């Protein structure tokens, strides 16, 4: 019994994965494919993917927005958790990485459910809002450039319906957010973001120490 969160080591992570993670074959393959890339650390962990899949089901999400798609692990796992009529709009800047995502969306049979919007996500989100999408989204996942998190979050808060969720990745940033000696601009941006959310009465809040830290904000 403990009032503290358990510290995970490699052995315990393997145990947790073996005893709870149900990762579809297509996602195992995508993870292996992504490992070959120089930025493979940008991919979420399978246990985080499973938590996100659970959250999609818990809020009965039918319309999801993702900011930062990379090679498509999170979009695939979330699309698979929705019924066939569900839609996911994926915003990303990289044609190169999302090429892998497109291949795996097809393999997973979710390509018809996902719409990829390439380009500057801030502009794309503004266009999306202007098109009248306020409060039309059930769940948003933010996992792109850290210095823009506040702007993405504010846009998502307008897009999400009351009771909908905003998930934000990398909020613990490898532990650097709590390390005063770390002062690079991404770490500083995440500190400002985390501090802002802790006082934000527009949402219910929970920062989960899974993967690199996942914040769950529920719009009130």
**Interface residues with Ca ion (CB under 5 A)?**
143, 169-170
Nearer to Ca ion, 66 or 143 (CB): 143
Q: Tell me how far apart the alpha carbons of residues 162 and 200 are, in angstroms, rounded to a whole number.
A: 15
Chain centroid, CA 25 distance in Å: 21
Q: How far is the CB of 212 from Ca ion (least distance, A)?
A: 6
Nearer to Ca ion, 49 or 164 (CB): 49
Q: How far is the CB of 66 from Ca ion (least distance, A)?
A: 11
Q: How far is the CB of 211 from Ca ion (least distance, A)?
A: 8
Nearer to Ca ion, 155 or 168 (CB): 168
Q: Tell me how far apart the alpha carbons of residues 169 and 208 are, in angstroms, rounded to a whole number.
A: 10
Q: How far is the CB of 112 from Ca ion (least distance, A)?
A: 26
Using the CB atoms, write b or e for 50-87: b if 16+ within 10 Å. bbbbebbeeeebbbbbbbbbbbbbbbbbbbbbbeeebb
Residue 83 backbone dihedrals phi, psi, to 5 degrees = -65, 165
Nearer to Ca ion, 138 or 143 (CB): 143
Q: How far is the CB of 116 from Ca ion (least distance, A)?
A: 18
Q: How far is the CB of 84 from Ca ion (least distance, A)?
A: 27
Residue with the shortest CB distance to Ca ion: 169
The encoded tokens of residue 119 equal 């380009």
Nearer to Ca ion, 138 or 212 (CB): 212
Nearer to Ca ion, 86 or 211 (CB): 211
């Amino acid at each position: 019994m403990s009032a503290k969160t358990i510290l995970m080591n490699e052995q315990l992570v393997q145990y947790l994965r073996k005893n709870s993670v149900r990762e579809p074959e297509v996602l195992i393959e995508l993870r292996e494919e992504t490992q070959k890339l120089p930025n493979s650390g940008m991919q979420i962990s399978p246990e985080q993917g499973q938590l996100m899949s659970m959250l999609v089901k818990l809020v009965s999400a039918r319309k999801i927005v993702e900011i930062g798609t990379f090679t498509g692990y999170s979009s695939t796992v979330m699309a698979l958790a929705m019924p066939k009529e569900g839609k996911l709009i994926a915003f990303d800047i990289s044609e190169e990485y999302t090429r892998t995502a497109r291949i795996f969306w097809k393999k997973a049979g979710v390509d018809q459910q996902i719409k990829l919007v390439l380009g500057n996500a801030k502009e794309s989100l503004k266009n999306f809002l202007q098109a009248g999408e306020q409060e039309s989204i059930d769940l948003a996942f933010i996992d792109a450039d850290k210095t823009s998190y506040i702007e993405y979050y504010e846009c998502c808060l307008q897009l999400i319906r009351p009771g909908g969720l905003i998930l934000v990745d990398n909020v613990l940033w490898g532990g650097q957010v709590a390390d005063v000696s770390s002062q690079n601009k991404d770490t500083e941006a995440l500190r400002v973001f985390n501090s802002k959310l802790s006082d934000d009465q527009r949402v219910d809040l929970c920062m989960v120490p899974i993967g690199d830290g996942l914040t769950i904000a529920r719009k009130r």
